[in-house]
């Protein structure tokens, strides 16, 4: 299983976290867990999750109050997972910025379907398409899979994030700092050598001739640009 997507679960009940792990791990999700709102905010930058599952009844705060704080820090979709099934709670959560609301107890199939939908929407919201085709390269942003001439390439989560960022801004130059902030987080914004290593690895995997790249182009002294699809 090479597609490892990071998911932050904010939930104080251990049985639910265990259940989620059982459901999500076989589908390629690496789960980061937080039992409180404070722990979730702490972990957000380190974990860089693609998706957030949020319980509302947390020990230190109401999950509803956490939604805008999470949204301010990270654009990942938030799915509320709560036993509160009053309409007003759902409406409030969605108004505060949650992307979906699933009531407990939930079915495994429904949860997985809602996760796929939330990811698809978040990709479309930033102006992207769930599938991208660049020459013989095919990128499935929902399943986080990359194929070249139909053959599956195995990218690490960071490599995928880097490729996704470059492709999303295809044709435009991204500075080293912009890329580092988006893919590694603000704390690593000056570690240009990380970026060089990852670009080299990514080129080895996606370019026909890694020494003469035609997809990931170097802008000397500035950053990188993905050739216009």
Q: Which is nearer to Ca ion, 104 or 196 (CB)?
A: 104
Q: Of 33, 35, 50, 55, which lies in the binding site for Ca ion, with binding defined by CB under 5 A?
A: 55
Q: Which residue is nearest to Ca ion (CB)?
A: 57
DSSP letter at 27 equals G
- Segment interacting with Ca ion, rule: CB under 5 A, options 51-59, 112-120, 137-145, 202-210: 51-59
Please report how close the Cβ of residue 58 comes to Ca ion at its closest, in angstroms: 6
Q: How far is the CB of 171 from Ca ion (least distance, A)?
A: 45
Helices 176-183 and 157-168 pack at an angle, to 10 degrees, of 130
| Whole-number Å distance between alpha carbons of 116 and 113 | 5
Piece in contact with Ca ion (CB under 5 A), picked from 1-9, 54-62, 186-194, 212-220:
54-62
CB 37 within 8 A of CB 11: no
Select from 42, 57, 62, 110 the one that contacts Ca ion (CB under 5 A): 57
> Candidates 57-65, 120-128, 137-145, 200-208 — which segment interacts with Ca ion by CB under 5 A?
57-65
For Ca ion, the closer of residues 55 and 138 by Cβ is: 55
SS3 labels along 67-110 = HHHHHHHCCCCEEEEECCCCHHHHHHHHHHCCCEEEECCCCHHH
CA-based nearest residue to 81, from 114, 50, 45, 129: 114
- Minimum distance from residue 99 beta carbon to Ca ion (Å): 20
Helix axes 157-168, 192-206, angle to 10 degrees: 90
End-to-end CA gap in the chain: 28
Q: Is 8 or 163 the residue whose CB approaches Ca ion more closely?
A: 8
Confirm or reject binding of residue 33 to Ca ion (CB under 5 A).
Answer: no
Q: Rule CB under 5 A: which residues touch Ca ion? A: 12, 55, 57
């Amino acid at each position: 299983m090479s597609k490892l997507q990071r998911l932050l679960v904010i939930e104080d009940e251990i049985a639910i976290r265990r259940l989620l792990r059982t459901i999500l791990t076989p589908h390629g999700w690496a789960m980061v867990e937080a039992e409180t709102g404070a722990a979730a905010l702490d972990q957000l930058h380190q974990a860089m999750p693609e998706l957030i599952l949020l319980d509302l009844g947390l020990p230190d705060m109401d999950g509803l109050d956490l939604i805008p704080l999470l949204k301010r820090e990270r654009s990942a979709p938030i799915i509320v997972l709560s036993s509160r099934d009053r309409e007003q709670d759902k409406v409030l959560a969605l108004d505060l910025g949650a992307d979906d609301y699933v009531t407990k107890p939930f079915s495994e199939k429904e949860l997985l379907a809602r996760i796929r939908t939330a990811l698809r929407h978040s990709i479309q919201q930033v102006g992207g398409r769930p599938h991208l085709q660049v020459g013989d390269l095919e990128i499935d942003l929902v399943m986080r899979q990359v194929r070249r001439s139909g053959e599956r390439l195995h990218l690490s989560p960071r490599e995928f994030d880097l490729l996704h960022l470059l492709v999303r801004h295809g044709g435009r130059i991204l500075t080293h700092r912009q890329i580092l902030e988006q893919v590694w987080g603000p704390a690593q914004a000056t570690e240009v050598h990380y970026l060089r290593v990852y670009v080299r690895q990514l080129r080895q995997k996606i370019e026909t001739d890694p020494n003469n790249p035609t997809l990931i182009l170097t802008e000397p002294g500035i950053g990188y640009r993905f050739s216009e699809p």
